[in-house]
Structure 1
């Protein structure tokens, strides 16, 4: 029983420490830049005007709201042509989602699932979509990571200006502590130390 109790205690403490180290990173803000590819089915492509469209750049900001939850906002701009894929029509989207991060699975690999919505601006007019998806961030250092994710953007039948489609994204993210950026060094204690040193 003592050996079992010791093993369970050590395992529990190690697991808590691992989750704490992982959650420290996930409690930080993240900014990212990358690209995205939108894919329509053959039937919907005939209506939209293009089957595969690329967005450059795609910008996103992720704000933690708990140990496993975060809010993510992104903007995907219409591509200005990259040679091998040129968009026949425009595609610009504003995305917002709530993520659930699986922080305790690995220190370097952080998978997550998300749900949210988008406003997609096409050739016709801006149209809302409902989104679900999954993503993965591989942290190559304490501050930088590689991110990829897959969206399914569902367009309701009542909106005739857009069709449901898939968006695949990829980019690099930077993690930072927003609190340390605005935290100033205390000056009263320094001034007090100088005062007492002079007397």
Structure 2
């Protein structure tokens, strides 16, 4: 089991070290989000609460190829009675809309969640959307489901939602705004 954990940790580190972006011309973005974790009421009773504030959440992303973006993120509970720190690695697919002002996406990935003294892996699935309001700045909304196997007593499956600002390190060439009057 320890070897599997080490291999997964190395894989996630490789992904996050060479990671992240929004389009083929603009490889890198950085995000800072307000995020929260929500457990079911029953699971929340076992874990010390149903809601955990996860702000700030920092992410770094790089566009790789064929509408695929790799994302690495970290967040931790600050000022909460529960301990919860998550290290996330995601692969996003943007349906070929990375040059648009509105960029919906789906993703799959994994996390290592450290709660108390135990680190637990999860499988992550979700959807999101980035609304670019300039060539440098955007607003990102995301909904993530984190699946934790029943064999891990330290963590239960839960959701994580986030909203935040995204900064592009390059100048984005955007298609005309959907709401502009001239085309």
| Structure 1 vs Structure 2 CA RMSD | 1.9
Structure 2 runs not aligned, ≥5 long: 1-21, 172-183
2:130 paired with 1:137: yes
Of 41-50 and 27-36, more deviation after overlay is shown by: 27-36
Structure 1 runs not aligned, ≥5 long: 1-21, 81-86, 179-199
Offset of residue 124 of structure 1: 4.4
1:29-178 pair list within 5 angstroms = 29-80=28-79, 87-104=80-97, 107-177=100-170
Larger radius of gyration: 1
Does structure 2 conserve the Cα–Cα contact (< 8 Å) formed by 1:23 and 1:103?
no
More strand by share: 2
Could you report, residue by residue, the CA deviation over 1:143-173 in whole angstroms, capped at 9, with x for unpaired residues?
Answer: 1000010110000011111000000011100
After TM superposition, where is structure 1 displaced by more than 6 Å over at least 4 residues in a row?
Answer: none
Could you report, residue by residue, the CA deviation over 1:160-196 in whole angstroms, capped at 9, with x for unpaired residues?
Answer: 1100000001110001139xxxxxxxxxxxxxxxxxx
Figure out how many residues of one structure are paired with residues of the other and give that number.
150
More helix by share: 1
Could you report, residue by residue, the CA deviation over 1:5-43 in whole angstroms, capped at 9, with x for unpaired residues?
Answer: xxxxxxxxxxxxxxxxx9456x42110111111000011
What is the TM-score normalised by the length of structure 2?
Answer: 0.77
Find the aligned partners of 1:159 and 1:32 in 2 and give their Cα distance.
30
